[in-house]
Amino acid sequence: MDFKVISNSELDTMELAQNIESEKFPNMVICLDGELGSGKTVFTKAFAQAMEVTDAVTSPTFTIIKEYEGDMPLYHMDVYRLDGNTEGVGIEEYFNAGGVVIIEWASTIKDILPDERLDIKIKSLGENKRSIHLIPYGKKYEELCEAVV
């Protein structure tokens, strides 16, 4: 079952991220996709804030992976520049590191993504409006979506 949310503002997107964060669990993997400026980093920043991450959260485009400490570790990845080549990066190691993994541009590395995860596709419908499509893979993620949507 897929879930669709319409966000009418950046605040709506942030609220959705915070609601998902409230249901987080160790080894959670969230895969974000959407065109540039669609709100992937806005989502991640709101999620991190809800996790009590105090560092400034920025897109890790050039570093690929940023690690943050909060009430649980947060591993924020931007795999756009990898162009699908993950050899030697060690992304898979984070999937079972006990924290939350959020991957921007995740569809570019779909071959290594875990079977159980939450895919979130964000599409711009105008200046502030977004269509947010949540696709859960696995029972925990289905239950999470049912709880927050």
pLDDT for 138 equals: 97
SS3 of residue 20 by DSSP? helix
pLDDT for 58 equals: 83
Each domain of the chain, given as residue ranges in start order, spans 3-148
pLDDT for 148 equals: 95
Cα gap 58→116, rounded to integer Å: 26
Quote the pTM value.
0.94
Cβ–Cβ < 8 Å for 119, 31: yes
pLDDT for 61 equals: 65
Q: Which fold has domain 3-148?
A: Rossmann fold (3.40.50)
Could you tell me the mean pLDDT of each successive run of 10 residues in the chain, 149 residues long? 95 97 97 93 96 88 87 94 79 96 95 97 94 98 96
Cα gap 7→127, rounded to integer Å: 11
